[in-house]
Structure 1
Amino acid sequence: MVLLSALLFLVVMLLMVSSNLYISQLSVKSAQAAQQQLQLDVQALQAHLLQLSGLDPELLPDPVSALPSCPGTYAAWSDASMQCELVLFETAEQHHQYPLYTRYGSMLLRKRLQIPEFAP
């Protein structure tokens, strides 16, 4: 009887230890996935900021919308000669091994000065 209760006690302890081990392994995998996602986020943000700093205004994608008048400090200039457009600039990164994806976007204001041509 003592041997049977000792064996039952050992089985219960083994189940408890194995469940704790399984939970800790899941925690490690979850932490690794979060770390990889964070690294991918940092890489995408660095790439986005690098692309923004060396951006040629003429190579921007098509505007999201053309504004009827320029906002804020350009309002005094925004008669017919100043044209403002909103442009969405996005950078996306995807991990090559894991299904991780991140994206950063910036809304840019592009200003163009249009000089009216006078017919002679």
Structure 2
Amino acid sequence: MNNDALDTVLGLIDGEILRMEDALSQCEKDLGRSCAAGCDEVARSETADEARKALGECRRDVERMVAALDFLRDRCEALRDRCSQTASLLERADRDTSSGGPFSDSPSSISPLA
């Protein structure tokens, strides 16, 4: 496998990791703000019913954030799988290159498509 192809693959993986880190960071910030707002709302509540309502809203916000974190976890697992597949392909390409296989630059290693 040539270096340009490898750089492209690694760049795609790095980009995906950065997007997930940004999404996780945003999710954490949103969760913190939601909890703080919920606590403020409960503290301002004048009745038990108002406090229960504020706690319910906060709970729903937290559930949305947990769902977002679950989504990010699933994306991380998918990325981990892609990295594993990429590593396997690179290992195979390295073996093929060293043995004169289809990924080798040697003209004698070029095989017909049929």
TM-score (norm 1): 0.46
* Higher share of residues assigned helix: 2
TM-score (norm 2): 0.49
* Higher share of residues assigned strand: 1
Which of the pair has more CA radius of gyration?
A: 1
